[in-house]
């Protein structure tokens, strides 16, 4: 086996090191790529006006020179001719695609006035603040909602993405654990559970670190209905039935406890509730779980033995656990595996974050308690919207319901920063109806999107090469701090935080005396530096402290890991993890099986695109011109479907058209559909032909209705019943969008 430390010292070759021919005037600056959640270190070449080229920065402590293809194509995105370049105001009816160009001054004055009018007439709660996944402006947007006095902010992830993992981690171990790929000790085992980091690189910089760890020769297990890019690199693949992960985790807990493979000392000294957990899991045998999960009892036992015996072990968990209506208990069951094996905060295992930055001043105290009570979904989904929630937010189906007159009160305004809910939220037809009923819709984006096309005002956002920012890496744990400042500018594009500051100032909101840059200084103060200094350094890597619990205990009420969660019990939730059959399946909805005999999963990431983005970037679209669904060879043969042909995927909610990717790398009864697909080349047709928005939109198939997870309100994007049929002819565009303008 290669010694891990030696491996660490070898920077990965950047894929962009070819074609080093640059104009002599090129400036070079160090920065951080933010095409996804961000984090890879980058050297940016510019002529002072435009980005010419980027390449991976070998000095980055996490990415060490590596970049993915999206990041490498940053110049194609930054300089794309379709970038929004000026604020736009709607001309004529909503959604017709006609605009006036207006100045920033006019746009901000008018928007602030209309927000103020809504606030006075219908209360601040009638205005929803929306944003996209984990971007630079994330915290600033939440701060804006609090300052404005609206409890209703959301992003399309949350209950479907990360909030269950973060909240359960805090309830169980008092902090969020991340894999220790950066120390001197290599993991001996990595178990990837519903997670494909070689592609999703979920916290941005993960892919190169995971690749390094796998190259070091450790044991590796993937639990995934697909043999994903990560699963293909693993020594064991457990093709689980979607939505049954809690059963598998309970059976693994059963094996580890009944065979006494747990870390007895850690359990004795640092956990509460072990005896209750032991009694509770006694009935969840591998045989019981095998019938539910379609993973053999032998494989379940083997995986449990490998994960508990090989130390240190990492548990990489992902979205496969959260996009279902049993997200709390599924994530809890998996979380306990780390705890009873003692794989917490020790070198080479999952480590608790250092949280080196001072926490972002979210102005929570500026949201009056009577306003917080009005949050859509707060009463029902206590861990999403209630006072115990990690970052209280509104329930998404409830929001679009309330826009459509179905809520406790009507929502009238939506201010969106970097999100495309017509593609990324379940049941987009309901979203569409809701958006059309709004009194005010403002969308800030890099490009005109189907969502932006419905707006009253569209504001042009700055790209990552055009922003100042400070980020804690990995997300939530914040063991490192990275800083970047604008390198170029697209003349009339503005950083989202600047827009928020300008609106806040006009609305005289509390906190508006501080700009976002002042907040960076505030966050850095404990490190004894300011933002300018941080930018000069780019990467701040304080030494990591392990086993923090030895001195201080875990940050839970009992100061121990809570295997039995009294907090959950008090909130009315099961204190020990439980399995529930997915609401759509042979047992729970037998009436659907004849028409929809297959199981649908959506949203498995592809390296070329980020959610609904980048379909207009020719260099990326060329690599993946049309949406695909993975289906197994045996299923394709049975249905007469050939690789590359168009197929119809249907659920009881609707149908879409995609092309078939016929493969051996998926369970034979599972269909995996890409999400986020729309066709920018057809955007001008949308006002007359909205059907092209539903054509390949995976969320036409998914469910925004109940049952929801009782604590988080998570809705179902995976583990749904579906069918696939061959389709004659072509419905999908056959030509690529033109118009990249890379220098
Ligand atoms: N069916 C299905 N649906 C899913 C998922 C799934 O797995 N299956 N995954 C869900 C998850 S986990 C998430 S997090 C959501 C993501 O949902 P969204 O965040 O809505 O996804 P994006 O398509 O990335 O939308 C981002 C928009 O922001 C713009 N943008 C990019 N950078 C900036 C910026 O700096 N400023 C501004 N103002 N705009 C910017 C982009 O051009 C794009 O139009 O999707 C969810 N939807
Ligand atoms: N290139 C790219 N990278 C991205 C994104 C993107 O859109 N594009 N999105 C970003 C965002 S916001 C997020 S949240 C992360 C998500 O990143 P990941 O957590 O890696 O999520 P996915 O790739 O959606 O799903 C991971 C795996 O779960 C499997 N899966 C599906 N259903 C189940 C199930 O029921 N059980 C189990 N065990 N597995 C299941 C899928 O087959 C897939 O291989 O990626 C981030 N990174
Ligand atoms: S993984 Fe994310 S941060 Fe890294 S190069 Fe790709 S898009 Fe950029
Ligand atoms: Mo996400």
Q: Name the β-bridge partners of 344.
A: 350
Nearest CA to ligand 3 atom 1: 204
Is the predicted pLDDT of residue 24 greater than 60, yes or no?
no
Residue 111 has pLDDT above 50, yes or no: yes
Residue nearest to atom 47 of ligand 1 (CA): 424
Q: How many CA atoms lie within 13 A of 509 on its CB side?
A: 29
User: Which ligand is nearest the CA of 607, by number?
Assistant: 2
Question: What's the pLDDT at 205?
Answer: 72
Give the pLDDT confidence of 165-190 residue by residue, as tens digits: 999 999 999 999 999 998 999 999 99
Residues contacting ligand 2 via CB (< 6 Å): 36, 133, 157, 161, 193-197, 199-202, 223-226, 228, 240, 242-243, 245, 318-320, 601, 603-605, 607, 609-611, 672, 718-719
pLDDT of the residue at 144: 98
Domain formed by 177-351, architecture = 3-Layer(aba) Sandwich (3.40)
Note the pLDDT of residue 440. 98
pTM: 0.96
Is residue 159 scored above 80 in pLDDT? yes
Question: Binning pLDDT at 50, 70 and 90, where does residue 623 land?
Answer: very high
With CA atoms as reference, report the closest residue to 221 among 243, 257, 185, 248.
Answer: 248
Q: Tell me the ligand closest to 193's alpha carbon.
A: 2
Q: How many A from CA of 213 to the centre of ligand 3? A: 19
Phi, psi of 178 (to 5 degrees): -130, 160
Ligand 1 binding pocket includes 702 (Cβ within 6 Å): yes
Mean pLDDT of 546-573: 97
Tokens matching residue 652: 């009881």
For residue range 482-502, what is the model confidence (pLDDT) as tens digits?
Answer: 999 999 999 999 999 999 999
pLDDT score of 405: 81
The 10s digit of each residue's pLDDT in 407-443 is 899 999 999 999 999 999 999 999 999 999 999 999 9
Q: What percent of the chain has pLDDT over 90?
A: 91
Looking from the CA of residue 42, the nearest atom of ligand 3 is: 5
Amino acid 8: pLDDT: 29
Ligand 3 geometric centre to CA of 70 (Å): 7
pLDDT cut 70: percent of the chain above it:
95
Q: Which of 195-199, 200-204, 506-510 has the lowest mean pLDDT?
A: 200-204
266-278 pLDDT tens trace: 999 999 999 999 9
Question: Ligand 1 in contact with 35 (CB < 6 A)?
Answer: no
Ligand 1 binding pocket includes 194 (Cβ within 6 Å): no
Which of the listed residues 156, 163, 672 should we mutate to test ligand 1's pocket, taking the one with most ligand atoms within 8 A of CB?
Answer: 156
- Does 2 have pLDDT greater than 50? no
With a cut of 50, say whether residue 114 has pLDDT above it. Answer: yes
Would you state the pLDDT for residue 569? 98
Q: Which of the four pLDDT bands, split at 50, 70 and 90, describes residue 21?
A: low
How does pLDDT run across 634-682, given as a tens digit for each residue?
999 999 999 999 999 999 999 999 999 999 999 999 999 999 999 999 9
Q: Could you tell me if the CB of 401 is within 6 A of ligand 1?
A: no
Give the residue, by CA position, lying nearest to ligand 1 atom 30.
Answer: 418
Please give the Cα distance from 222 to 302 (Å, whole number): 13
- Three-state SS string over 453-485 comes to HHCCEEEEECCHHHCCEEEEECCCCCCEEEEEC
380-394 in b/e burial notation, b at 16+ Cβ within 10 A?
ebbbbbbebbbebbb
Q: Are strands 413-417 and 127-131 parallel, antiparallel or unpaired?
A: parallel
Residue-wise pLDDT for 697-716, tens only, equals 999 999 999 999 999 999 99
Domain spanning 88-159+363-466+487-511, CATH architecture: 3-Layer(aba) Sandwich (3.40)
Measured CA to CA, the distance from residue 616 to residue 64 in angstroms comes to 29
Give pLDDT tens digits for 285-309: 999 999 999 999 999 999 999 999 9
Predicted confidence at residue 200, as pLDDT, reads 93
Q: Which CATH number fits domain 590-726: 2.40.40.20, 1.20.1730.10, 3.30.70.100, 1.10.10.10?
A: 2.40.40.20
* pLDDT band at residue 93 using 50, 70 and 90 as cut-offs: very high
Q: What's the CATH fold of domain 17-72?
A: Phosphorylase Kinase; domain 1 (3.30.200)
Q: State the average pLDDT over residues 471-492.
A: 94
Separation of CA 200 and ligand 2 centre (Å): 6
pLDDT at site 740: 53
How many angstroms separate the alpha carbon of residue 138 from the centre of ligand 4?
A: 13
Q: What is the pLDDT of residue 407?
A: 85
pLDDT at 246 over 70: yes
pLDDT computed for residue 18 by the predictor = 35
For residue 25, the model assigns a pLDDT of: 63
- Residue 658 is given by DSSP the state E
Residue 475: the pLDDT is: 87
**Structural domain boundaries in the chain:** 17-72, 88-159+363-466+487-511, 177-351, 590-726
Q: What is the pLDDT of residue 20?
A: 46
Residue that has been written with the tokens 């004849």 in this structure:
594
Mean pLDDT (the chain, rounded)? 94
Q: Is the pLDDT of residue 247 over 60?
A: yes
Predicted confidence band at 314 (pLDDT cuts at 50, 70, 90)?
A: very high
CA-nearest residue, atom 4 of ligand 3: 40
């Amino acid at each position: 086996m290669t010694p891990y430390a030696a491996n660490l010292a070898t920077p990965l070759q950047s894929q962009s090191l070819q074609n080093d021919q640059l104009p002599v005037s090129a400036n070079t600056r160090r920065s951080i790529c933010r095409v996804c959640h961000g984090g890879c270190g980058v050297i940016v070449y510019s002529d002072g006006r435009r980005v010419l080229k980027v390449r991976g920065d070998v000095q980055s402590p996490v990415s060490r020179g590596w970049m993915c293809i999206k990041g490498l194509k940053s110049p194609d995105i930054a300089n794309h001719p379709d970038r929004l370049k000026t604020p736009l105001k709607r001309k004529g009816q909503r959604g017709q695609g006609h605009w006036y160009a207006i100045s920033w001054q006019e746009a901000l004055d008018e928007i602030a006035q209309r927000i103020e009018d809504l606030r006075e007439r219908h209360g601040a709660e009638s205005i929803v603040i929306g944003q996209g996944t984990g971007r630079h402006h994330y915290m600033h947007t939440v701060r804006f909602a609090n300052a404005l006095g609206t409890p209703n902010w959301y992003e399309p992830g949350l209950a479907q993405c990360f909030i269950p993992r973060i909240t359960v981690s805090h309830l169980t171990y008092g902090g969020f654990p991340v894999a220790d790929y950066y120390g001197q000790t290599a993991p001996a085992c990595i178990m990837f559970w519903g997670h494909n980091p070689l592609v999703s690189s979920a916290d941005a910089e993960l892919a190169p670190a995971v690749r390094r760890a796998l190259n070091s020769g450790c044991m590796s297990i993937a639990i995934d209905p697909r043999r994903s890019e990560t699963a293909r690199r693993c020594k064991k693949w457990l093709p689980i039935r979607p939505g049954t992960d809690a059963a598998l985790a309970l059976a693994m807990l059963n094996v580890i406890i009944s065979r006494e493979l747990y870390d007895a000392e850690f359990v004795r000294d640092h956990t509460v509730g072990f005896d209750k957990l032991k009694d509770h899991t006694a009935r969840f045998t591998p045989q019981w779980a095998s019938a539910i999960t379609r993973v053999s009892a032998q494989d379940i036992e083997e995986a449990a033995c490998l994960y508990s015996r090989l130390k240190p072990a990492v548990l990489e968990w992902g979205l496969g656990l959260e996009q279902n209506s049993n997200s709390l208990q599924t994530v809890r069951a998996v979380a306990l595996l780390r705890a009873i094996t003692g794989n917490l905060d020790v070198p080479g295992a999952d480590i608790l974050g250092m949280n080196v930055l001072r926490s972002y001043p979210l102005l929570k105290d500026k949201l009056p308690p009577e306003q917080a009570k009005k949050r859509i979904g707060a009463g029902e989904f206590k861990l999403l919207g209630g006072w115990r929630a990690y970052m209280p937010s509104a329930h998404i189906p409830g929001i679009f319901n309330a826009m459509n007159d179905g809520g406790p009160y009507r929502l009238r305004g939506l201010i969106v920063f970097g999100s495309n809910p017509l593609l990324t939220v379940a049941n987009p037809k309901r979203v569409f109806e809701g958006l059309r009923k709004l009194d005010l819709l403002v969308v800030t984006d890099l490009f005109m999107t189907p969502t932006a096309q419905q707006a009253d005002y569209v504001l042009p956002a700055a790209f990552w090469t055009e922003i100042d920012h400070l980020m804690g890496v990995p997300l939530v744990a914040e063991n490192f701090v990275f800083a970047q400042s604008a390198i170029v500018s697209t003349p009339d594009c503005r950083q989202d935080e600047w827009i928020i500051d300008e609106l806040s100032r006009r609305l005289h909101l509390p906190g508006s005396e501080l700009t976002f840059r002042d907040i960076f200084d505030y966050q850095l103060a404990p490190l004894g530096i300011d933002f300018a200094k941080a930018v000069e350094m780019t990467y701040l890597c304080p030494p990591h402290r392990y086993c923090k619990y030895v001195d201080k205990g875990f940050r839970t009420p009992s100061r121990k890991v809570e295997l039995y969660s009294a907090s959950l019990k008090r909130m009315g939730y099961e204190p020990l993890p439980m399995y529930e059959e997915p609401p759509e399946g042979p047992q729970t909805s037998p009436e659907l099986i004849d028409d929809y005999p297959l199981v649908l999963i959506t949203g498995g990431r592809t390296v070329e695109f980020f959610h609904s983005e980048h379909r207009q970037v020719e260099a990326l679209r060329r690599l993946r011109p049309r949406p695909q669904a993975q289906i197994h060879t045996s299923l394709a043969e049975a249905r007469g479907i050939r690789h590359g042909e168009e197929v119809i995927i249907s659920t009881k909610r609707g149908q879409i058209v995609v092309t078939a990717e016929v493969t051996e790398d998926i369970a034979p009864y599972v269909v995996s559909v890409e999400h986020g697909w729309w066709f920018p080349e057809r955007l001008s047709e949308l006002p007359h032909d909205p059907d092209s928005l539903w054509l390949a939109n995976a969320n036409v198939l998914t469910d925004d209705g109940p049952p929801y997870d009782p604590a988080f309100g998570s809705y179902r994007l995976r583990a749904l019943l579906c069918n696939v049929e061959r389709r004659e002819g072509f419905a999908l565009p056959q030509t690529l969008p033109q118009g990249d303008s890379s220098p």
